[in-house]
Amino acid sequence: MLKQAIENLGDRTMQGVWRIGFAARFFVAILLHSGTAFRRFGLTIREMYFTGVLSLIIILVSGLFVGMVLGLQGYETLQTYGAEESLGVLVALSLVRELGPVVAALLFASRAGSAITAEIGLMKATEQLSAMEMMAVDPIARVVAPRFWAGVISMPLLAALFSAMGILGGYLVGVQLIGVDEGAFWSQMQSAVDFEQDILNGVIKSGVFGIAITTIALFEGYDAPPTAEGVSGATTRTVVTSSLAVLALDFVLTAFMFRGLS
Amino acid sequence: MNKTILDLWVGLFVIVGFAALLFLTLKVGSMNTVNRSDSYEVTARFENIGGLKTRAPVKIAGVVVGRVADVRLDNETYEAAVTLRLDKRYAFPKDTSAAIMTSGLLGEQYIGLEAGGDSEKLKDKDRVLITQDAVVLENLIGQFLYGKAQEGAPQ
């Protein structure tokens, strides 16, 4: 009984370590085999259509709504201090620093990450990857690397679009609906938001999130048991793991980036 | 799907994405960060800087001309040594004075410069000699109460 429990624990630890090692080797393999993704850039563009362009609607609409809610809630709170002119600062800083990269990454993980895992997992289950290897086509270079780079390129652009739409939403609610002064809204925002400290750090954040999400999604798909159950489990794991990874990474990055500010 | 349509969509996506970045950079943020290359640094010493922080604005006549680059304590005189990074486009007389002010009643603190009359200008690594400390509200109230008490005291 006890022996069984210890054996189980050992087995799970071994598997966990093995998976981490495999994921690290997989990541290195993607980087090493990225040549094709750039030489035949058409492959990457094709994947950017599926991960980037098709995620546009959900990113733009949710960005708009998040910004509108920020406008409403921020106004309610700021108004009690008579500081409603700072609404622009509140909306812009919270979007550019945190909400833009993080929420866009969470949406990206569930919209594009799950699709990548399911696609690769099914390719493996239907032995398309093995067939490629038989034809001396490297599946990592032909299938995995273009998806990786498409995700890494798309993610910062999607996050920037999310922030821009959010600020537009905050403007619509704050200035057009509630009637905060338009000049104060924009000028206070401009004096408070810094290019390097806020915008560039936001872009770096979303780039890191893009790398994390696509790596996890590709790994889960590549590692999935070749059954219907296995693929569905892998898809679920992709969304859960990459969402957690995004939130944890966000904390680490924020601690490094904004430590000197307070 | 047709390859040209796909290319078109991805191209549009990239353009719109970069347009959003440009919007964030120009309209939301501002490129007025003073760079190391087109700025010069002067120091100023204060006995009390209140709540002054790095990156606080340096203003003259209400116009931002630089930022606070560094705040540290001089361990011999126990004064705060503040480094100001000023825009190279502006030159100030050598006897310019610096004061720590507060925007509004509870707003952030900034350094206000007041130009003097010297014909020589401040150069890199110079020191602003005339400074005025931050006003600490508690001290002010204390002084006021003390003054009141003095008034009421029997002569």
Residue B148 pLDDT exceeds 90: no
Q: Which of A96, A158, A261 sits opposite B24 (nearest CB)?
A: A96
Q: 3-class DSSP state for residue B70?
A: strand
pLDDT digits (tens, 9 = 90+) for B76-85: 999 999 999 8
Do A157 and B21 make contact, defined as CB atoms within 8 angstroms?
yes
pLDDT digits (tens, 9 = 90+) for A13-59: 999 899 899 999 999 999 998 888 888 888 889 999 999 999 999 99
Least confident window among A90-104, A236-250, B51-65 = B51-65
Instruction: Annotate A62-96 with DSSP letters as a single string.
Output: HHHHHHHHHHHHHHHHHHHTT-GGGHHHHHHHIII
Domain extents for chain B? 1-31, 39-139
Do A53 and B10 make contact, defined as CB atoms within 8 angstroms?
yes
Residue listed under structure tokens 């919007």: B23
Residue B3 pLDDT exceeds 90: no
Find residues 198-217 of chain A whose CB sits inside 8 Å of chain B.
198-199, 203
ipTM over 0.85: no
A229-235 average pLDDT score: 93
Do B33 and A196 make contact, defined as CB atoms within 8 angstroms?
yes
Q: Which region holds residue B125: left if phi is over 0, alpha if psi is between -120 and 50, else beta? A: left
pLDDT digits (tens, 9 = 90+) for B83-142: 998 888 888 898 899 998 887 766 778 899 998 888 888 888 888 888 888 887 788 888
Q: Report pLDDT for B109.
A: 84
Test the A interface: residue of B4, B18, B24, B27 with most A CBs within 10 Å = B24
pLDDT digits (tens, 9 = 90+) for A126-138: 999 899 989 988 8
DSSP state of B54: T
CB-based contact (8 Å) between A99 and chain B? Answer: no
Test the A interface: residue of B26, B28, B68, B110 with most A CBs within 10 Å = B28
| Closest CA of chain B from A45, distance in Å | 7
Decide if A238 contacts A147 (C-beta within 8 A). no
Tokens of A72: 């409403």
Domain extents for chain A? 33-261
Average pLDDT of chain A is 91
| Closest CA of chain B from A65, distance in Å | 17
Cα–Cα nearest to A168, from B19, B60, B147, B38 = B19
Q: Which of B6, B16, B33 sits opposite A161 (nearest CB)?
A: B16
Q: What percent of chain A is predicted at pLDDT more than 90?
A: 68
Using CA atoms, how far apart are residues B66 and B56, in angstroms rounded to an integer? 9
Question: What is the four-CA torsion angle of A121, A248, B21, A178, rounded to 10 degrees?
Answer: 120
pLDDT digits (tens, 9 = 90+) for B17-45: 999 998 888 887 765 555 567 888 999 99
Q: Report pLDDT for B64.
A: 83
Q: Report pLDDT for A64.
A: 96
pLDDT digits (tens, 9 = 90+) for A172-231: 999 999 988 888 888 888 878 888 788 999 999 999 999 999 999 999 999 899 999 999
Name the range with the highest mean pLDDT among A14-28, B54-68, B141-155: A14-28
**A–B interface: beta-carbon pairs under 8 A:** 84
Name the range with the highest mean pLDDT among A243-252, B53-62, B142-151: A243-252
CB-based contact (8 Å) between A91 and chain B? Answer: no
Contact residues on chain A for B10, CB-CB shorter than 8 A: 45, 48-49, 52-53
Q: Residue A262 — very low, low, confident or very high, per pLDDT cuts 50/70/90?
A: very low
Q: Report pLDDT for B89.
A: 87
Find residues 7-46 of chain A whose CB sits inside 8 Å of chain B.
42, 45-46
